[in-house]
A = this chain, B = another copy of it.
Amino acid sequence: MDKDKRVRRTKKALQNSLLTLMEEKDFQDITITDIVTTADYNRGTFYKHYKYKEDLLDEIIEDVMTGLIESYREPYNDKETLEVPSLSSSVIKIFDHVERNSKFYQIVIRSNALPGFQEKFIQTLKKLAFEDLPAFPSNPDVNPDLQASFHSYAILGMIIEWVNGGLKHPSSYMAEQLSALLKAEPMKTAFKTKYVLPTWHKKEPSI
């Protein structure tokens, strides 16, 4: 698919161009002419590859998601000691990937293109959980779909928080945080505070 150097080069240039423009203005205000002008390509070239600018944006997201999948699987690629992928080791790679593609994530998360991206991102993470984690789901009692969704959205939430804060922390810190959050079984604590305490408070109902 598109092995020609020219095609790859052109598409990358148009992608970068669109992303750069999205830093300044809303997606709907960006014209095709804008895109090709900043990329310094001919307009006809755009139409050779895409029909609408939406196609270009979709392709950008698609490419980044492909990169995400590769990052996720990378630690197990050239290891003869066929290590079993664990949630923790894979998740570090996700944060690394976000860090490397910070420009994309910052722009898209802050843009009006967020919903479309979020859908694809969640879908990708879910797929990875099912296909790559042999020990998934960890507990026979839990609904796998629910757990996958839970984890995927949890990670998305961390990333959005991280990105909106300007990616101040290194990716290793984010991995630590997630690890700590998982170990602390935060839901239990939350539930304890929110629901268990009240019941403990209304002690001695009038018999």
Contacts and interface: CB of A to CB of B under 8 A. Distances in A.
A41 B6 CA distance: 9
Interface string A1-32: 00001000100000000000000000000000
Contacts of A9: 40
Interface residues of A, number: 5
A172 interface: no
Contacts of A42: 5
Interface in A40-97: 40-42
A80 to B, nearest CB: 30
Nearest to A13: B9
Contacts of A41: 5
Interface of A: 5, 9, 40-42
4 contacts: A5-B40, A5-B41, A5-B42, A9-B40
